[in-house]
Amino acid sequence: MRDFDEYNIPLGKMVGGKLEKSQRLEGKVTQITYAAPKDKSILEIFRNYELALKNAGFESLFSSKKSELGDNWLKQFLNATTRLSRSGQPDIDTRLADDFRYLAAKMKRAERDVYVALCVGTSWFQNFPVVQLDIIETKPM
Cα 125 to chain centroid distance, Å, stands at 21
For the domain that residue 45 is a member of, what is the CATH number?
3.40.1000
Give pLDDT, residue 89.
52
Give pLDDT, residue 81.
87
Give domain status of residue 54, yes or no: yes
Give domain status of residue 56, yes or no: yes
Give domain status of residue 19, yes or no: no
Give domain status of residue 17, yes or no: no
Give domain status of residue 29, yes or no: yes
Average pLDDT over residues 26-39: 93
How does DSSP classify residue 73?
Answer: H
* pTM recorded for the entire structure: 0.91
Give domain status of residue 51, yes or no: yes
Give domain status of residue 20, yes or no: no
Give pLDDT, residue 138.
96
Q: What is the pLDDT of residues 58-104, one digit of tens each?
A: 999 999 999 999 989 998 998 898 876 655 555 666 667 788 999 99
Q: Of all helices (H) and strands (E), which one includes residue 52?
A: helix 42-55
Contact 112, 126 (CB under 8 A): no
Cα-Cα-Cα-Cα dihedral of 112, 75, 101, 55, to 10°?
0
Give domain status of residue 48, yes or no: yes
> Could you list the residue range(s) of the whole structural domain that residue 133 is in?
2-12+25-138
Average pLDDT over residues 42-66: 97
Angstrom distance (rounded) from CA 79 to CA 111: 27
Q: In what order do the strands lie in the sheet with 59-65?
A: 2-10, 22-35, 130-138, 114-122, 99-107, 59-65
Structural domain count of the chain: 1
